Amino acid sequence: MSALPATVPVAVVGAGQSGLAVGYYLRRAGVPCVLLDAGSGVGESWRRRWDSLTLFTSARFSALPGLPFPGPGARYPGKDEVVAYLREYARRFDLPVLPGHRVLELRADDGGYLLTTTRGECRAGQVVIATGAFGTPRVPEFAAALGPDVRTLHTGDYRGPAQIPPGTVVVVGDGNSGRQIAVELAGTHRVVLSCGDTVSPRLPQTVVGRDMFWWMSVLGVMSMPVSMEAPDPVVGDRVPALVAEGRIRTVGRITAARGAELLVAGGERVRPSAVIWATGYRSDWSWLDPAMLDEAGRPRHTEGVGVLPGSHYLGLYRMRTRGSALLGFVGRDAERVAAAVVGAASTSSAAKGEPA
């Protein structure tokens, strides 16, 4: 598909892993749809991640519905392999992706929805918001107090050690991303890793020769609901070994910045040449119809079914289970959301006296 249609039964906002997965199920059900994506091509958000990024799920647990991830199932793919896989997925199933169509506004309109994009407008009977779990980089406000001589990057802008000036680099945030980056930088820099107040569970990548996600799947962990407050596990953590070797030093939570220094809880001061903020992302839902949002500005939905008829969500962090935002597990939610779309279409047709 090359042109934005004036009308379409279903518009999917986002053509990342979530959008592609629901597009697959919609195509199988014979439901015409379009996938609107802000990026220049499929897999753009993965392409922009740091060069050495590898998945913490093995290839066997990193596939979307209908297409196994290529290569041996026990290996851990890199980000460029993920980009290639997603592009092949869209091509293989002839998914109607329109890149370069950022949705600026989505409003309920005459029993359906009006989507205003950077390349025109489109009316849809139903919408699936599949913009994913990662949106705008989140950086603490006090970061602005760092002096101009300290190089600062969010993980969304980090590519590799060559970006970082010599000296001490502080990685703020000790989740999977922060720890992967700290390990990489330990080969070229003095690294200080700032850990938060919450201790995340540490999981090995393999147990008794089996991938950790094999065990979590078999035991039903990936299919269970999980509290939004529960910390994410760190998988395959190499930091403790590098701490023992003296190549990474850990400190507590960073509480403030003053010129050339970062202040650590407890009173320590660190003078870095660079800071990498591995502090996650926040979502911006201001482009959605206010009637779709709660008092805190978040989407109102029940397991992906929105409060307004014909609105659906996919790929939100822990939307239904621990795997709702993960590449290899989002397909389960996508199948349910696609079924809800088909059901809503049938109900609408019946109410109008049309054949289902």
- The per-residue pLDDT for 201 is 80
Decide: pTM greater than 0.85: yes
Shared domain for 189 and 115, answered yes or no, is: no
Residue where a domain terminates, one of 277, 299, 323: 277
pLDDT above 70 (res 355): no
- Whether 1 is in a domain gets the answer no
Written as one letter, the residue type at 342 is V
Q: Are strands 168-172 and 190-194 parallel, antiparallel or unpaired?
A: parallel
Shared domain for 105 and 179, answered yes or no, is: no
Shared domain for 273 and 287, answered yes or no, is: no
Written as one letter, the residue type at 7 is T
Q: List the CATH number of the domain containing 25.
A: 3.50.50.60
Shared domain for 225 and 312, answered yes or no, is: no
Write the pLDDT tens digit of every residue in 62-78.
999 999 999 999 999 99
Q: Which residues contact 356 (CB under 8 A, 6 or more apart)?
A: 345, 346, 349, 350
Shared domain for 235 and 272, answered yes or no, is: yes
pLDDT above 70 (res 352): no
Residue where a domain terminates, one of 256, 277, 298: 277
- Whether 2 is in a domain gets the answer no
Residue where a domain terminates, one of 255, 277, 299: 277
- The per-residue pLDDT for 65 is 98
- The per-residue pLDDT for 214 is 85
Average pLDDT over residues 147-159: 96
Shared domain for 62 and 28, answered yes or no, is: yes
The mean predicted confidence, pLDDT, of the chain is 92
Average pLDDT over residues 319-335: 92
- Whether 254 is in a domain gets the answer yes
Shared domain for 314 and 216, answered yes or no, is: no
- Whether 312 is in a domain gets the answer yes
- Whether 65 is in a domain gets the answer yes
Among 18-27, 130-139, 333-342, whose mean pLDDT is lowest? 130-139
Shared domain for 181 and 267, answered yes or no, is: yes
User: CA 293 to CA 285: how far, in whole Å?
Assistant: 8
- The per-residue pLDDT for 220 is 87
Q: For residue 180, what are its two tokens?
A: 């992967």
Average pLDDT over residues 186-198: 93
**Domain of 335?**
7-135+283-351
Shared domain for 293 and 173, answered yes or no, is: no
Average pLDDT over residues 194-202: 84
Shared domain for 86 and 148, answered yes or no, is: no
Shared domain for 23 and 118, answered yes or no, is: yes
Shared domain for 41 and 81, answered yes or no, is: yes
* Count of the separate structural domains present in the chain: 2
Written as one letter, the residue type at 184 is E
